Structure formats: structure tokens, C-alpha cells
Amino acid sequence: MYRAVLIFFFNLLLAITPSVFAEPPSPPGDLPGWKLVWNDEFEGSKFDESKWTVMEKNLNKNKELQFYAADDCYVEKGMAVLRSQKREYNGCHYTSGHIDTRGKFSQEYGRFEIRAKLPKGKGIWPAFWMLPEDKRWPPEIDVMEMIGSKPNRILMTLHHRQLDKPAHAGFAYVGPDYSADFHTFAVEWEPNRVAWYIDGQRRYFTPLDSPDTPFFIILNTAVGGILPGNPDDTTEFPVYYYIDYVRVWKRDPATDPKK
């Protein structure tokens, strides 16, 4: 009796909150209104150097504590892995992973998506974001940021310029524990419109100051800093940011459902 009741309520929960649960990966390809133009499924044994730069550098931004070490970035079992560790390295107490497509791939407008399982813990700060190829700032599009001490909260932000001063528009979406399983995170960036998606559901939208310059892609995990605070005794190392794929589409005028 009790088992039947539990099964009933579990199935009811599945029916009313489908976006809470991770979906299996889809094969790469076109979407309605979108043409796939760039992707990496990480099927080899190492990063494709024609697509990615693996960072070996201390960026020293936002009071972060990590050194981005190349050996914390690797490809394994069809995944890109960005590892964060507590270790002494080039004057820093932590190391982590950072990859980007700067100088290798950038695009103005489009749909940008990853499928990933995020690391958690106090002071852990995984992100999927984009910056202009021409080095201007702002703009910046943060497709996904997660504060590791709040693994059910995803930040989505557009940094732009208002009255000739830096400004931003954003939203924090509260959902499941995004460190427990894989989820998709995407942005649809178009003229005068930016929309954010989690597991295929639109979670935020803004028509403000859509950037109009090619952006490159960044995937990284910061350790410490202004936003997440620093690690403490509760933070377990190492932690891992697993990326199943990165895919980019452009609008296909011939099949655009909005036309």
C-alpha cells in the first residue's frame, strides 16, 4: 500500500516538473530554426587544439585564489573535465581548469549550449560565459554561473553599457542540485534579444542592449573570489566540472519558425 502511494506521487512529480530531472544527451544536429555551425562532443583523447586553448596562467581577477593549470584540463570518456584542486602551484594555494575558443572560434548571435555536471562546495565557481573577440568590456554574456555553496541556483547575466557606464541585467533561477547530474544550459542571442534556457525551458529574457560583436566561449571553474567567497573546511577537493558537449547554432532563415 505504502509503496503504491510512493510510486503514485513520484510519477506525479515527474509529470508536473519534467525540467527538474536531467534528460539523456541528444545527438548533434540542426534544431527548428537553427543550423548547427560548430560543436565539440569530446570524443577523442585530448582537446582539439584547432578549437580550444587550454590556459596555463594566473588571471588574478575578482580576488580569486586559483592558478589555471593545463594539467587540470583533460578529455576522458567523451567528456571535457575541468578539475579544481587544493595544492601549492606557482605561488597559489589552488589550481583549476580554464578553456576557451579565443582566436579559434567566435560568432555574433546564435544559440550556444553545453550539457554539463557542475562542481559544488564553498568557494567553487563554475561558469559558461562569453566575451568579445575584440577585447572590449562590457559586453559579456554569462550563460551559466553557479555558486558552489548553492548548487541549486543558476545565475544568468548580461553585462552591458547604460548611459556610458557598465551595467547588468540578470536573474537567479532556483532548481534542482545541478551538481548531482547533467543538465543543459543555453542562451539564444539575437539582435535586441537575449534569452537563457535550462534543460530546454526558458528561464530568463531581456531585450536590453543585445551585444553586436563576435563573442568567444569560455568554460572555467574559479576558486574563491568576490562572488562565491573562499573555500573553507567544508570544501572537499578535488572537484570536477564535466562537460558532455558544446554546441553552437546560427539562425537558418529558411526554417526560422518566427518568420
Nearest to 70 by CA among 46, 86, 38: 46
The catalytic position among 64, 113, 145, 188 is 145
Compute the residue count for the chain.
259
Helix then strand count (H, E) for the chain reads: 1, 17
Using alpha carbons, list the distances in angstroms from residue 203 to 43, 181, 196: 30, 19, 6
96 vs 25: CA distance, rounded Å:
26
165 vs 234: CA distance, rounded Å:
39
243 vs 208: CA distance, rounded Å:
29
The catalytic position among 49, 56, 113, 140 is 140
Eight-class DSSP state of 107: B
Alpha helices in the chain (DSSP H): 2-16
Cβ partners under 8 Å of residue 135, min gap 6: none
Nearest to 157 by CA among 225, 211, 223: 211
| DSSP per-residue string spanning 124-146 | EEEEEEEEETT---S-EEEEEEE
Q: State yes or no: is 108 an active-site residue.
A: no
Q: State yes or no: is 41 an active-site residue.
A: no
Which residues are known catalytic residues? 140, 145
